[in-house]
Structure 1
Amino acid sequence: MQRVLIRSIFKLSNQHATKPYLLQQHQQEARINSISCYYCVYSSKRGQQENDGWGKSKRHFISLLTLGIGLGGIGTAYILAKEVSALEKTATNNDTHENWHKERRTDLPTYKQEQITKHDTLEKRVWVTYGVGVYDITEFIPKHPGSDKIMLGAGSAIDPFWHIYQQHNNKEILTLLESYRIGNLDKADEVSTEDMGSPWGNEPKRHPLLKPASERPFNAEPPLSLLAENFLTPNEFFYVRNHLPVPVIDAEGYELDIEIEESDTTRSFTLEEIKKLPKVTVTAAVMCGGNRRSEMTEVKPVKGLSWSGGAVGNAKWSGAKLRDILLAMGVESDEKRHVIFEGCDLDPTSHPYGASIPLSKAMDERGDVILAYEMNGETINRDHGFPLRAIVPGTVGARNVKWLSRIIISDSESSSHWQQNDYKGFSPSTDWDTVDFTKSPAIQAMPVTSAICSPSQGEKVQIVNGCINVKGYAWSGGGRRIVRVDLTSDGGETWHVAELEQEDLPDGRHYGWSLWSAKLPVPSGCKQVEIWSKAVDSAYNTQPESFKYTWNLRGVLSNAYHRVKVEIE
């Protein structure tokens, strides 16, 4: 019988097929960022109809399991379990969770790949393999917003996808996956990823002070105490948000394609051509849509990276105005079309990270959307989008696409997972059984927020003249200026206004953050106080008091009062 091996065939998708700059790497690691995994053809005949065994399972689950098939935006898989069986009794004698999918279970039947391949639709039930395990994931798929991506692995192996999304290899996720197990893969059909190399072999070096929220893909934030020290966040301390492996790009061969769908017009720009265009500099804060998610999780668990308040940074970005380029190509502004950004970072199916913004934002003279090649006066580094990234001031970080490969003027929004099925807000009563991502618009401008950077949670502080020193940051999306930051140490009985450090720019173009500081009076005789901060922007929007009423299943738009408890020495 034929032994089936998943081989790593490094192939660029159609829109990246003329991008040789992506291939200037060492042979072993060259095309990792454009992997497509192709499967060997099975020559044997289909086996007879088998019993799927699902009815024998008594494990019940709600919500979702993200298998990581092209879903770098969500990153980690979750299921909220109603009941998890004692897997140690039934799964394996090996108590190391990393080996469960490598061990054969004597209590379960063995299936040939030709049997598994037949289970590639919901009607036939969806089976996948991982290692030597066979899993029926049918019940979970209708509840998951990325089911279109998950179906790419239906009837085959998820090994190559998890080779990319290694954040799934933890005990919680592997335990939950094992609960879906219905059998073992025939030895003749075992899958291997040994010839795939590591997609993470070319990751850039990072500053050790960055605290990882996930290692692969790398996502990290600086200690909150550092953020209020500099109006412009040092590049090495700027938070990192990656959805996929960081691509290696040859700047000399780099080209950016800009397409206008309705006229079939396409123009390619080298990096040097873009640098010859008028250079503009914009101060803009970039904030992850999930910043401060860890605080919302305290109300009820949410799905996503557990960011504290450090998934934000403020920088001076320099580059060419996108508006100037589009005008030169004959594009006229309107309220209907969209600008789609695509990156050079590709998932295992060769689909790029993508996002879009309204064309009206890109064409607005005051919108200040730029194609940036410098960050704080230095060449932008790899983690932050070298050689070119979109900076969309006042807009959620997810739309500031890095490693730009293609820009499309389109009648439709980006069809990418991260535009359609992620980075959207919902009612606190919406759960993973009822969510409909088509009913909510993609986040663009972020709401007003603030965070206390110093003192930190649990820190011992000294009172000087009846006050403690407090400092932090505040920001509002859409270019709205911060007009006030209010602080209290007595549960809101009295409020004190902080001093602001901010640029002197007109409202509507106030894209950078504001740093604030105050000498905050504290009640006498207290051994512990809780500091609250709330910011107010130029539209007099202010932060909500509690996360309880703004909770959402993805943990985005987390902007309730920031609260820090400190000990008084």
Structure 2
Amino acid sequence: MWGKRDDMLVHERDPFNAEPPRAALAGRRTTPPDTFYSRNHGPVPDLDPAAWRLTVDGLVEHPLDLSPADLRERFDEHEVAATLQCAGNRRAGLAEVRAIPGEDPWGPGATSTARWTGVRLADVLAAAGLRPEAAHIEFAAPDVSRLAVPPQPYGGSITVDKALRPEVLLAWAMDGRPLPRVHGAPLRAVVPGWIGARSVKWLTRISARAEPSDNYFQATAYRVLPPDADPAQAGPDDGIPLGPIVVNCDILRPDDGARVPSGPTEVTGYALAGGDRTVARVDVSADGGRSWTQAALDDGDSPWTWRHWRTTLDLPAGEAEIIARAWDSAGAVQPESPVHLWNPKGYANTSWARIRLTCT
């Protein structure tokens, strides 16, 4: 479905929401389009590139109406390697603490990396003449979601400070090929370091505003509610809005529940830090955190991509639990337990990664 590999873990077919098995991400600095996770809130729109236009309006001096040719001819092309991560990544771990009704049980595969090609959002906003009172940049798309009541098209916003950063793109290609339809063709936003929900697909409008977007997916959804809150009763501005992601990691190989020979066992995974922070260290333990082994980290392809890590542990015969935790460049570390992170929407599970093995 949608050109994805046969072993994708499909959480929903309409809207299409799927992630790869964890082992499919192991050892890959970038994620092939057939493996890249897919998060959608409504039916995937079918836009005619020949008729598609991008409107830039709001608090700007010179509103723009741009065709695909306009974007390519008027603005310099740039490429950014960036990892996107769903705010619900690793939700399954929170659901083990307490049920999260109505939300997909994402594992660690709602995280993927590509090289994105397009133009800088900052260049487009400069051409439009961004006014000083603009503090937020809103993205609008045509995919209508029934998660909002009444149903409404998807949208969201980012701060002007982030929008003007050189890494934020309006992208038409991933890994040197045109965007697949399911990943936002003909144009999508790519906002490195922020939750994937802000990298809005199928862009049709960009608006400069004094306040954040009032779209349901900015004002009401993608907010961390208190544990005792009822999501069905949550209104605009309740909870903590999600933007920059928090340091996170997971184990990709061996798979959770695998049987492996006892003795030296290679353990690999990914780590990702959001905002302007980078991954500084990953620790791995096979004795419940009493002792830790520091994993070797690859360099990553840019400040905005995950870093893959690996280490070798000497595992005795029997049952084993492997845990991993990441530290970022500000000294922040993942918390130990998902119990302390549980929230009614199941966002931002950044607790220690855990897998259980049988060693023979």
Deviation at 1:415, TM superposition (A): 1.3
Change in Cα spacing, 1:243 to 1:210, as seen in structure 2 (3 Å) is same
**Alignment partners' CA distance in 2, 1:459 and 1:333:** 56
Counterparts in 2 of 1:359 and 1:564: CA distance versus 1, 3 Å: same
Aligned to 2:275: 478
**Which one-letter code corresponds to 1:513 in the other structure?**
W
Could you tell me which residue of structure 2 aligns to residue 211 of structure 1? 9
What is the one-letter code of the residue matched to 1:223?
A: P
The alpha-carbon deviation at position 476 of structure 1 amounts to 1.1
Counterpart for residue 160 of structure 2? 359
Partner of 1:541, secondary structure, is coil
- Residue 345 of structure 1: how far off its partner (Å): 1.3
| 2:300 aligned partner | 503
Q: Following the alignment from structure 1 to structure 2, what is the Cα–Cα distance between the partners of residues 421 and 542?
A: 28
Q: Is the 8 A contact 1:502 1:513 kept in 2?
A: no
| Cα separation, 2, equivalents of 1:399 and 1:332 | 22
Q: Which secondary structure state, in structure 1, belongs to the residue aligned with residue 122 of structure 2?
A: helix
Higher relative contact order (CA 8 A, sep 6+): 2
The residue aligned with 2:176 is 377
Identify, as 1 or 2, the structure richer in helix: 1
Change (3 A) 1:374 1:432: closer
Distance 1:436 1:231, change over 3 A: same
Distance 1:434 1:381 in 2: 36
* Change over 3 Å in CA distance of 1:468–1:324 after alignment to 2: same
What TM-score, normalized by structure 2, do the two folds share? Answer: 0.93
Deviations 1:477-512 (A, max 9, x none): 11311111100000111100111113365xxxx111
Which of 89, 94, 97 matches 1:296? 94
Aligned to 2:78: 280
Match of 1:167 in 2: none
SS in 1 for 2:63: strand
Determine the C-alpha separation between the residues in 1 that align with 2:320 and 2:91. Answer: 23
In structure 2, the partner of 1:99 is none
* Higher mean displacement: 436-445 or 405-414: 436-445
Instruction: Quote how far apart the aligned CAs of 1:435 are.
Output: 5.1
What is the alpha-carbon distance in structure 2 between the residues aligned to residue 325 and residue 415 of structure 1? 23
Q: Following superposition, which runs of at least 4 residues in structure 1 exceed 4 angstroms of deviation?
A: 347-350, 431-437
Match of 1:223 in 2: 21
| Cα gap change, 1:409 to 1:246, in 2 (>3 Å) | same
Task: State which of 452, 469, 473 in structure 1 corresponds to 2:266.
Answer: 469
Between the aligned partners of 1:329 and 1:438, the Cα distance in structure 2 is 29
> In the alignment, residue 396 of structure 1 is paired with which amino acid?
I
Q: Could you tell me which of 218, 230, 252 is aligned with 1:419?
A: 218
Q: CA separation in 1, counterparts of 2:235 and 2:126?
A: 37
Q: Find out whether 1:428 has 2:227 as its counterpart.
A: yes
Q: Among 250, 262, 279, which residue is 2:48 paired with?
A: 250
Is residue 2:53 matched to residue 1:260? Answer: no
Q: Deviations for 1:314-369, whole angstroms, at most 9, x for unmatched residues?
A: 111110001011112211566x621000112134777321010011111134xx11
Write the mapping of 1:160-179 to structure 2, written as runs, cut at 5 A: none
Q: Distance in 1 between matches of 2:53 and 2:233?
A: 43
How big is each residue's C-alpha offset from its partner over 1:134-175, in whole Å with a ceiling of 9 and x where there is no partner? xxxxxxxxxxxxxxxxxxxxxxxxxxxxxxxxxxxxxxxxxx
Partner of 2:65, secondary structure, is: strand
Q: Deviations over 1:28-62 (max 9, x none)?
A: xxxxxxxxxxxxxxxxxxxxxxxxxxxxxxxxxxx
Amino acid at match of 1:451: D
**Equivalent residues of 1:427, 1:550 under 8 A apart:** no
Count of residues in Structure 1 that have an aligned counterpart in Structure 2: 355
Match of 1:532, SS?
Answer: strand
Given residue 364 of structure 1, which amino acid in structure 2 is its aligned partner? R
How far apart in 2 are the matches of 1:486 and 1:332?
A: 46
Q: What's the counterpart of residue 314 of structure 2?
A: 521
**1:539 aligned partner:** 330
Task: Work out the CA distance in 1 between the residues paired with 2:139 and 2:325.
Answer: 34
Give the distance between the partners of 2:131 and 2:287, measured in 1 at CA.
Answer: 54
Distance in 2 separating the partners of 1:342 and 1:557:
24
Offset, 1:520: 1.7
Q: What SS does structure 2 have at the residue aligned with 1:225? A: helix
Distance, in Å, in 2 between the alignment partners of 1:435 and 1:269 is: 37
Contact 1:460 1:566 in 2 (8 A): yes
Q: What residue number does 2:321 align with?
A: 530
Q: Unpaired runs of 5+ in structure 1?
A: 1-202
Q: Distance in 1 between matches of 2:231 and 2:358?
A: 39
Distance 2:151 2:229 in 1: 32
Deviates more, 1:284-293 or 1:299-308: 299-308
The reply to whether residue 392 of structure 1 matches residue 185 of structure 2 is no
1:554 paired residue number: 345
Letter in 2 for 1:547: P
SS in 1 for 2:345: coil
Q: In structure 2, how many angstroms separate the alpha carbons of the residues matched to 1:240 and 1:378?
A: 17
Aligned residue in 1 for 2:255? 456
Q: 1:281 to 1:469 in 2, by over 3 A?
A: same
For the pair 1:444 / 2:237, whether they are aligned, the reply is: no
Counterpart Cα distance in 2 of 1:419 and 1:343: 13
| CA distance in 2: counterparts of 1:290 and 1:350, whole angstroms | 21
| Partner amino acid, structure 2, of 1:500 | L
TM-score (norm 1): 0.60
Deviation at 1:399, TM superposition (A): 0.5
CA distance in 2, matches of 1:211, 1:268: 39
User: Aligned partners of 2:48, 2:60: CA distance in 1, in Å?
Assistant: 31
1:333 to 1:362, Cα distance in 2 relative to 1, 3 A: farther
CA RMSD of superposed structures (Å)? 1.9
Q: Is the 8 A contact 1:296 1:547 kept in 2?
A: yes
Q: Which runs of 5+ in 2 are unaligned?
A: none
For 1:352, what is the secondary structure of its paired residue?
strand
Task: Answer with 1 or 2: which has the greater Rg.
Answer: 1
| C-alpha distance after superposition, 1:505-525 (max 9, x if no partner) | 5xxxx1111111111233x4x
List aligned pairs for 1:123-142, cutoff 5 A: none
Q: Secondary structure at the match of 2:223?
A: coil
User: Per-residue deviation at 1:545?
Assistant: 0.2
